[in-house]
Amino acid sequence: MKKMGLVFAIFFGVIMLTSTAMFALPNMMEPLNNDSERTITGTPADNFPDAQRAQFCGSGDSKSTTYVTEYTIPTACTMPVAIVTDFEGNVWFAQTNTGNLAKFDPVTESFTEYDNPIWPPNTRSMMWGIDYAPDGSIWYTDELLDSVWRFSPQDESYQRIPYPSEGNSLPQKLKVVGSQIIINDFTGNKITFLDPNQLDEELPYLSIPSPFDGSFTGDFAIDEDNNILYTNWLPQQGGVLVKFDQEGYFLSVRNTGGGFLPLENYIDVLPLPNNLLTPNGIVVTDAGKIWLVDTSSSNFFSFDPENEVFTQYVTSDPPLLTYGNSSGVIKTPISRPYWIETNDLGQLVFNEQTANRLAVMDPKSESLVEYFIPSMNPNWGDCGELDNCGLAQIFDFTVDGDKIWFTEWVENNIGVVDTSIELPLDIELESNIISLNAGQSRGFTFVVSPQTSQDLFDVSLILSETHEFLTVASDSNVPRTFQLDFDAPRPIAATISASENAPPGTYKILLGAQTDEVSVSKFLTVVIES
């Protein structure tokens, strides 16, 4: 159980990073206190004392909004994490607190949970990675047992495959790519390739070590040239972007008759920006840009391999009800983008862990839509006496057409965002780019236009910057919250300022508006001239 304690310290060490304080999370993976009061229910909730069940097993019924529908898992306290859809549109997810896989049929809205007879009793393991293979099998990772699991829906059988480990390993994200399974080993500091076609023999594998010892290996992506891209980083110290030329390497191996080749000849390393501290998620778009999310902030970044330029973006601020701030110590709440993928339209999709949202960003229009997830567990926020406050801990999602399916780790729900539903408002910028000198301010106008027939509805402004030397503020006669008329677009006058010490460069500011269900905004490019 000690291994899981380490993992929780890394991943869940705080509820909300702020400029002044951290709220420590309980370590659920420590051995349970047998003296704690425990009401036996015959469900996985029995793995927790009564006092902890609301925190880990769910605090209420599933909820819905215009854009989000949640479904309660029939078995209590399963704690779902990894999620994927199959070729028929069924939703599969892994359960931390049972070791089981489950299937949800969106047509009948029914669950099927498959008992895992070889799972050790009373064991809990975070299962971060899952994928659906062409033969219909489901593959997923298990960090506690250092394993990769294969589930066959045809005969409902499980097979546990020991992960090839040379020490402190933690198999995390997993993708089935052609005839390979690719896994990042988070604490083992490597990327591993497995051959799933030889399960009856000793499982063949190749591990690509990361360039820095003692660091963590984050998620991975594959570019159009079939290179493997992944991050390698140290907590709060930053890291590097690594590119592995797998085609060149494997071709050379074949040409040399399978002999050993120096891996460093096929690896390129690029330093990440100093303010990109926890690059967990990574994805490559069709345009060739690489996108990374920073779990230590509200930021995400693009990287253009052509000119080797990073560009920093920011989400809107987390809603107050996600963190509560009952104690008043949270000065700078952050949204914590965690994993990132793309959809069929080439848009980016990522989860905002501590904002209780799923986001869709269009790189072409530089627009951002953030969907609020209605279930909130108050035991994961500084909620005090506030109602409807906290986090559902949305740790994984999967994109299936215009649907985004996700799991709620501490609310025992799965849910879906329907991105095809019309948004309530639109944002139009006066221009897409402005120029400033250091120490200069400039007025700017954007328009919030209703896209609904509802007579009146409340909206709040979004004004977010990526850097402290760049500020945006609405003019004094513009309220931050107001009612929008269905037939009356609302011009918003704002002032954008660069401090005296603002360095020359190209930066982004986020401008928009939000309801209690969704945020809609666009990025303005600000050029600070030398």
Residue 31 reports pLDDT greater than 90 = no
Cα–Cα distances in angstroms (integers) from residue 117 to residues 79, 100, 125, 195, in the given order: 18, 9, 16, 25
- Flag whether 323 is in a domain: no
What is the pTM for the complete model shown? 0.93
Closest to 314 measured CA to CA, from 526, 493, 498, 483:
526
- Flag whether 418 is in a domain: no
Q: E-strand spans in 10-133?
A: 68-72, 80-85, 91-95, 101-105, 110-114, 130-132
Burial of 242 (0-12, 13-18, 19+ CB in 10 A): buried
Q: How many angstroms separate the CA atoms of 37 and 48, rounded? A: 9
Cα–Cα distances in angstroms (integers) from residue 331 to residues 18, 78, 388, 463, 497, in the given order: 6, 34, 21, 16, 22
Which residue, 287, 314, 341, sits at the end of a domain? 314
Token readout for 500 is 């005296």
- Flag whether 272 is in a domain: yes
pLDDT bracket for residue 168 (50, 70, 90):
confident
Same domain, 296 and 430: no
Token readout for 205 is 């594998």
Tell me the average pLDDT of the chain.
90
CATH number at 285 reads 2.130.10.10
Give residue-wise pLDDT tens across range 251-294.
888 877 666 677 778 999 999 999 999 999 999 998 899 999 99
Q: What angle do CA 521, 525, 530 make, to 5 degrees?
A: 155
Cα–Cα distances in angstroms (integers) from residue 25 to residues 17, 51, 295, 297, in the given order: 12, 15, 16, 18
Cα–Cα distances in angstroms (integers) from residue 94 to residues 135, 149, 263, 414, 415, in the given order: 19, 11, 34, 11, 14
Q: What local confidence, expressed as pLDDT, does residue 259 receive? A: 62
Percent over 70 (pLDDT), the chain: 92
Q: How many angstroms separate the CA atoms of 147 and 173, rounded? A: 12
- Flag whether 255 is in a domain: yes
Number of domains in the chain: 2
When pLDDT is averaged across residues 193-213 and rounded to a whole number, the result is 78
Give residue-wise pLDDT tens across range 290-328.
999 999 999 999 999 999 999 999 999 999 999 999 999
Same domain, 183 and 303: yes
Per residue, the 3-state secondary structure of 347-368, as one string, reads: CEEEEEHHHCEEEEEECCCCEE
Q: What local confidence, expressed as pLDDT, does residue 406 receive? A: 98
- Flag whether 81 is in a domain: no
Residue 245 reports pLDDT greater than 50 = yes
Q: What local confidence, expressed as pLDDT, does residue 507 receive? A: 97
Q: What local confidence, expressed as pLDDT, does residue 236 receive? A: 77
Q: What local confidence, expressed as pLDDT, does residue 178 receive? A: 86
Give residue-wise pLDDT tens across range 502-527.
999 999 999 999 999 999 999 999 99
Same domain, 302 and 172: yes
Q: What local confidence, expressed as pLDDT, does residue 18 receive? A: 38
- Flag whether 127 is in a domain: no
Host domain of residue 440: 425-529
- Flag whether 302 is in a domain: yes
- Per DSSP, the residues of 457-515 read EEEEEEEEESSTTEEEEE-TTS-SEEEEETT--EEEEEEEEE-TTPPSEEEEEEEEEE-
CATH number at 490 reads 2.60.40.10
Give residue-wise pLDDT tens across range 92-119.
999 999 999 999 999 999 999 999 999 9
Which residue, 314, 330, 358, sits at the end of a domain? 314
Give residue-wise pLDDT tens across range 51-81.
999 999 999 899 999 999 999 999 999 999 9
pLDDT bracket for residue 417 (50, 70, 90):
very high
pLDDT bracket for residue 331 (50, 70, 90):
confident
Which residue, 314, 341, 373, sits at the end of a domain? 314
